[in-house]
C-alpha cells in the first residue's frame, strides 16, 4: 500500500504535488491547508484524511479535527499538525507512524518503535527549505517512508 503525505500547502497545490501523490491508495494532509479546494483536489486522487493546522480558519476548517488516528493496511497512524502536540504514549497505543507538519522541514526519524514523518511543505517556499511531499510504503508488517522533492 502506498500512502501519500502532504502538509503546509497554505493555499497552493502544485501540479508536481498532485503528480507525486498520483497512484496513492490514501492521502494524509497534516494541516495548514489554506483552502477547501485543496482538499477537494486531493480527494480526486484518493480517500483523504486531513487535520486542521494553526493557519486553517473558517467554517470548512472548523469541521476538521486537530488530530486523527487511523488504520491503513494494518498500520496504525496518528496525524497532527504541530509536532509539539504529539502524545507521548503513541507507541504504547499501538501507533506505528506519526505524521505532522508545521515546521516546513522534511524529516523521517525512528524513535522508540515509532516512525515520525514530516513530509515538509508542498506549498509556497519558505526561506531556503525544499518543497516536498512524503510517501509511506506499507508491505505486510513493514513500513518505509520517503520524502519526494518537487523541484
Spatial contact of 132 and 123, defined as CB atoms under 8 Å apart: no
Read off the pLDDT of residues 18-65 as tens digits, 9 standing for 90 and up.
999 999 999 999 999 999 999 999 999 999 999 999 999 999 999 999
Alpha-carbon distances, residue 82 vs 7, 73, 99 (angstroms): 11, 25, 9
Report how far residue 41's alpha carbon sits from residue 33's, in angstroms, rounded to the nearest whole number: 12
Output the pTM of the full model.
0.96
Q: What is the CATH number of the domain that holds 122?
A: 3.60.21.10
Domain range spanning residue 30? 2-149
Indicate the Cα dihedral angle 78, 79, 81, 86, nearest 10°. Answer: 0
Task: Count structural domains, the chain.
Answer: 1
How does pLDDT run across 86-144, given as a tens digit for each residue?
Answer: 999 999 999 999 999 999 999 999 988 899 999 999 999 988 999 999 999 999 889 99
Amino acid at each position: 500500500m502506498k500512502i501519500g503525505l502532504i502538509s503546509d500547502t497554505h493555499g497552493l497545490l502544485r501540479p508536481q504535488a498532485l503528480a507525486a501523490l498520483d497512484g496513492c491508495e490514501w492521502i494524509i494532509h497534516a494541516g495548514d491547508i489554506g483552502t477547501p479546494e485543496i482538499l477537494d483536489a486531493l480527494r480526486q486522487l484518493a480517500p483523504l484524511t486531513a487535520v486542521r493546522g494553526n493557519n486553517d480558519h473558517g467554517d470548512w476548517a472548523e469541521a476538521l479535527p486537530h488530530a486523527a488516528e487511523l488504520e491503513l493496511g494494518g498500520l496504525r497512524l496518528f496525524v497532527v499538525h504541530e509536532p509539539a502536540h504529539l502524545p507521548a504514549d503513541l507507541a504504547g497505543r499501538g501507533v506505528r507512524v506519526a505524521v505532522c507538519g508545521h515546521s516546513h522541514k522534511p524529516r523521517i526519524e525512528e524513535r522508540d518503535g515509532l516512525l515520525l514523518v514530516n513530509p515538509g511543505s508542498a506549498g509556497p517556499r519558505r526561506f531556503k527549505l525544499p518543497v516536498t511531499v512524503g510517501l509511506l510504503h506499507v508491505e505486510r508488517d513493514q513500513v518505509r517512508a520517503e520524502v519526494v522533492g518537487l523541484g
